[in-house]
Amino acid sequence: MESIVNKSEELVDEFSFFEDWADKYAHIIDLGKNMPPLEDHWKTPEHLIKGCQSNVWLHAELKEGLVYYYADSDAIIVKGLIGLLVRIFSGQPPAEIVHADLSFMNQIGLQQHLSPTRSNGLASMVKQIKMYALAFQANKS
């Protein structure tokens, strides 16, 4: 299993290849396009992330002590952003997700280049990912 730190470093390296933000946005869009589709039965109000301008659905499962996330959005950039987070956090132990360092988002430049509403939505996505992990961690102990 690759750690959150290693996955984050790989993502920062990947984004460092792009010279400008138009290319980085294009890469984020590609990440969204390459996500497996979320099954329709998870596209429910209970799975909608509050605080996002677009519809973003997030489902999580605990399998053999690791949290797996499945997500989708009706907005292509937002789908790429949630895909980026799923890539980093899926397949990790709940405690590591809860305590994960999020500096990779600043290193990529997300905070500086997203609109305020998208930044708020990204924060809501991270919060929901961590809330699922916290719930799984609490149920384990």
Each of the 141 residues of the chain gets a pLDDT tens digit; together they read 799 999 999 999 999 999 899 999 999 999 999 999 899 999 999 999 998 889 999 999 999 999 999 999 999 999 999 999 999 999 999 999 999 999 999 999 887 888 888 889 999 999 999 999 999 998 865
Write out the catalytic residue numbers: 52
Angle subtended at Cα 129 by Cα 128 and Cα 135, rounded to the nearest 5 degrees: 85
Q: Which residues partner with 71 through β-bridges?
A: 58
pLDDT for the residue 63: 96
- Output the CA torsion 17→21→23→26 (10° steps): 130
Question: CA-based angle 8:119:109, to the nearest 5?
Answer: 45
User: Hey, what amino acid is at 12?
Assistant: V
Domain of 61: which CATH number? Answer: 3.90.1010.10
For the chain, how many structural domains are there in total? Answer: 1
How far, in Å, CA of 41 to CA of 22, rounded? 34
Structural domain harbouring 95: 4-140
Q: Tell me the β-bridge partners of 67.
A: 62, 92
Beta strand 66-73 pairing with 56-63: antiparallel
Instruction: State the pLDDT at residue 7.
Output: 96
